[in-house]
Structure 1
Amino acid sequence: MAFALLLIPAVLFLIPLVYPLIQRLRFKLPPGPRPLPIVGNLYDLKPIKFRCFSEWAQIYGPIFSLYLDSRLNVVVNNTELAKEVLKENDQQLADRHRNRATMTFSRGGKDLIWADYGPHYVKVRKVCNLELFSPKRLEALRPIREDEVTAMVESIFNDCTNPDNVGKSLSMRSYFGSVAFNNITRLAFGKRFMNTEGIIDEQGKEFKGIVSNGIKIGGKVFMGETIPWLRWMFAGENEILEKHESRRAKLTREIMEEHTLARKKTGGAKEHFVDALLTLQKQYDLSDDTVISLLWDMITAGMDTTSISVEWGHGRLVRNPRVQQKAQEELDRVIGSERIMTESDFSNLPYLQSVAKEALRLHPPTPLMLPHKANTNIKIGGYDVPKGSIVHVNVWAIARDPATWKEPLEFRPERFLEDDVDMKGHDFRLLPFGAGRRICPGAQLAINLVTSMLGHLLHHFTWAPPAGVRPEELDMAENPGMVTYMKTPLQAVPTPRLPSRLYARVPVDY
């Protein structure tokens, strides 16, 4: 008996040592860096993974493998291989790898983002496509988006025309963050937690605290996840995750109850996502866990990514006065100086749309696509990818591949006037929102908001770098993370270019 008790930890220790070797002998795996026992290639990884993987692709080829502990990971870095992953093997790679954090926050995969492909995923995907992100609902919610963008313009105008600030640079991240924060809370919960002076109510403070804590958790290294064989030593990590999820659920249930009572009083529902989900709950047989998880999917996917994309795009415009001027000439020609732009103007602003596309090409919101998981043995690029392998698509590397793009590192929106490239999953050269079964259902919403914010910034202001800084000296380095902020928050000097009456926001109660 004593010998058997000693044998168990020995076997547990040997499994992560032997398993990668067995896989190498059994399958023709893609080449890659040599893993160490237990930790795999964790010691090799640089903090900014998508850049690290792009460098490794130069050494090992456009498809390579690595081990994170004993889990086989496969990374693809060009258009042809992305097509194999997202189209030809789409169904076989439609599952998700969930770690403890995503398992907890998705309530065991009951949401959309982290659910495995199957009946539940198909059902919630249908809800999103037909109900939440339908063209009709997006149009109905347009006043909210335009209201928040004009609030941003008014705030920038007030700050830059303040006698103490004239000619000085502003830190742009806070303005973009306010738009993203208010827009997503109004879309999801029907609430504007933050007023025009930036004052947040109590429920809003709790919401912001939850979001802030979620970002901290996302950046935290969980040793029990990094080395699963020693997970028992880090039991406290589970408590951190479960406490955060409990806090999210408590707030969400309070808001759901408020909306339920309001519908009983008025006899109808509004277009906000929480109302839509509660109205559709019985029709689609959605559990409370799924409703809560879907709402937080919308928040986590739609808040940071929007403000990040606009900050990168705006930074590129400040660095490129030629592009800025050309976009403004188009805006002046189409919109003029007697009114402000609306989303209905987009179709007449092809260069502005190209500016947004070029920003999303160079700086996709998630440079590494969320991980796919193989549900059976398949082949990619002539190599074996065994069942259970985690597959990553390096969107950042694909969008900068010189074999695909002419002058790939240049910010040149004209490329999209010369070649009409789709960015909603049909053209594998440009994949800011993914493709196939797992494509982001809110892609059009994100495109509309990013284009609107960049358009208003260009129409209302001329932008210059801070005093003493040349445009090309703006820092465009990235911070590590699943979504990638600019390492140095963007500073820019705005100069108003329209009549002052066009900077006043007319609040929309919706």
Structure 2
Amino acid sequence: MAPLLLLLLLPLLLLLHHLYYRLRFRLPPGPRPLPVVGNLYDIKPVRFRCFADWADTYGPIISVWFGTTLNVVVCNTELAKEVLKEKDQQLADRHRSRSAAKFSRDGQDLIWADYGPHYVKVRKVCTLELFTPKRLEALRPIREDEVSAMVESIYNDCTSPGKSLLVKKYLGAVAFNNITRLAFGKRFVDSEGIMDKQGQEFKAIVSNGLKLGASLAMAEHIPWLRWMFPLDEDAFAKHGARRDNLTREIMEEHTLAREKGGGAQQHFFDALLTLKDKYDLSEDTIIGLLWDMITAGMDTTAISVEWAMAELIKNPRVQQKAQEELDRVIGYERVITELDFSNLPYLQCVAKEALRLHPPTPLMLPHRANSNVKVGGYDIPKGSNVHVNVWAVARDPAVWKNPSEFRPERFLEEDVDMKGHDFRLLPFGAGRRVCPGAQLGINLVTSMIAHLLHHFNWAPPNGISTDDIDMGENPGLVTYMRTPLEAVPTPRLPATLYKRIAVDM
């Protein structure tokens, strides 16, 4: 009888909950929530577009109820600056879903840690030890090796004129091999494209983690329903053990290699092992940091370059202008390296414009208010989540001329920082939670675009016009293209420049 009575009273209790918030706080406007579910049934699958549409109706700061949790979304440059700079300290905590709490050992990593001594320590490890210019330069041969492997693979598959290729396949291979080599010092795929046992296990762990994270659905947002959808503790425990076993196996390999060969390598796993005592890093934190890097770097690079190539194929004028710069600076007798970037301003603008229009994470991971705070003149109660709609900010017509146009020249006319100092462009976030690996991401995205343009001309498949390229997004935390890009590459350099020279490090 009691459970039935509670079920009958639940809508009334939740209505009173919403009413309490409305009476006590001056909340941002937004669509009217329903009892129990809030606005969950109103949100369209591509959330950042949905929130941008609501901002057109209700204003640039809106309230959206995920079940019983208040989420505030900001959609313009001025409010993004207020959230990420002026009120950053009060909004630097992190909302952790039940799956995120499990994966991160309740915030023992960097991405999911609340702001506090642990976060500051781990952040210091990243900025002062892992992502320094010296280490990024030492790891440059790995990045360039993987990009050259991509070029060779595309060249080998261009077996006949007009043959179209699935671009995502080649970009994904670069992203996978690059992140495993940077993080673990291992290439799980051999020169023939065969993945070894550890690589297969690695991919299975990543896939299973995504599956587990998506399995909780509605109950994540409605605590009263969690008794009906309990966390599968056994599945998460098995996943955690499987992840830890693989990581420890690689850790033991590194320990033995260091004992045999002496000095530390530059890749992140070995660096963390040498820094463990200096920073008092627990094994959970080391493992969490490594998998943060994998999670953040595995797909985002490939996604960014796929969008860039789609825009370049749709805009042949821009493609030709970038190639003219490459031909003038690099020529036809050698391949580009990252050391050439400073002499290729238009190429850098192409990468920047692609990241403006298509940020790989269009909604920042939610910041959680650790105290009551005001944003845009509205109240943000303690415990609420605040999202910055990076996609909308980068298309804010108040600060961008013709914001939907792919026009890299805008960055020649005005230099705009994209590493968190200019709040008009935030592909890597800003403030206390800005991505520490921003420069690494920029280097790899720019390098991939440069090699693809220098080595090949790109056109739509036969019978497809540039207007037919689908520029819609798939729903999700990151913005995969709704229809994976197919394109026809035509080699434009001497055949000798398509051969990968393997780098072993």
TM-score by length of 1: 0.96
**Partner residue, 1:98:** 96
Taking a change above 3 Å as real, the CA distance of residues 12 and 107 of structure 1, as seen in their structure-2 partners, is farther
Taking a change above 3 Å as real, the CA distance of residues 152 and 485 of structure 1, as seen in their structure-2 partners, is same
Distance in 1, matches of 2:211 and 2:335, equals 38
Q: Structure 2: which amino acid aligns with 1:113?
A: I
**Partner residue, 2:155:** 157
**Partner residue, 2:483:** 488
- Does 2:27 correspond to 1:29? yes
CA shift digits 1:173-193 (9 cap, x unpaired) = 110000000000000001000
Equivalent residues of 1:222, 1:237 under 8 A apart: no
Distance in 2, matches of 1:127 and 1:140, equals 17
Q: Aligned with 2:226: secondary structure?
A: helix
Where does the alignment leave 5 or more consecutive residues of structure 2 unmatched? none
**Partner residue, 1:400:** 395
CA RMSD of aligned residues (A): 1.6
Equivalent residues of 2:308, 2:449 under 8 A apart: yes
**Partner residue, 1:214:** 209
Match 1:373 to one of 355, 364, 368: 368
Match 2:336 to one of 329, 332, 341: 341
Distance in 1, matches of 2:325 and 2:393, equals 30
Equivalent residues of 2:152, 2:498 under 8 A apart: yes
Q: Aligned with 1:281: secondary structure?
A: helix
The 5 A counterparts of 1:304-319 are: 304-319=299-314
TM-score by length of 2: 0.97
By how many angstroms is 1:238 displaced?
Answer: 3.8
Distance in 2, matches of 1:487 and 1:25, equals 42
Match 2:276 to one of 271, 274, 281: 281
Distance in 2, matches of 1:230 and 1:238, equals 17
Equivalent residues of 1:16, 1:69 under 8 A apart: no
Distance in 1, matches of 2:14 and 2:396, equals 35
Equivalent residues of 1:224, 1:237 under 8 A apart: no
Q: Structure 1: which amino acid aligns with 2:167?
A: M
Match 2:86 to one of 88, 99, 120: 88
Q: Aligned with 1:234: secondary structure?
A: coil
By how many angstroms is 1:11 displaced?
Answer: 7.4
**Partner residue, 2:193:** 198
Q: Structure 2: which amino acid aligns with 1:337?
A: Y
**Partner residue, 2:379:** 384
The 5 A counterparts of 1:40-439 are: 40-160=38-158, 162=159, 165-235=160-230, 237-439=232-434
| Identity value in percent | 73
- Pick which of 330-339 and 398-407 moved more: 398-407
By how many angstroms is 1:13 displaced?
Answer: 6.5
By how many angstroms is 1:9 displaced?
Answer: 7.0
Equivalent residues of 2:11, 2:35 under 8 A apart: no
By how many angstroms is 1:8 displaced?
Answer: 7.2
CA shift digits 1:91-121 (9 cap, x unpaired) = 1000000001110111100000110000000
Distance in 2, matches of 1:244 and 1:259, equals 23
Distance in 2, matches of 1:469 and 1:147, equals 33
**Partner residue, 1:444:** 439
Distance in 1, matches of 2:287 and 2:76, equals 36
Q: Aligned with 1:400: secondary structure?
A: coil
Match 2:452 to one of 430, 454, 457: 457
Distance in 2, matches of 1:331 and 1:51, equals 35
Equivalent residues of 2:216, 2:231 under 8 A apart: no
By how many angstroms is 1:228 displaced?
Answer: 2.0
CA shift digits 1:458-484 (9 cap, x unpaired) = 000000000011112211110000011
By how many angstroms is 1:213 displaced?
Answer: 2.1
Distance in 1, matches of 2:234 and 2:394, equals 40
Q: Structure 2: which amino acid aligns with 1:213?
A: N
Where does the alignment leave 5 or more consecutive residues of structure 1 unmatched? none
Distance in 2, matches of 1:108 and 1:236, equals 15
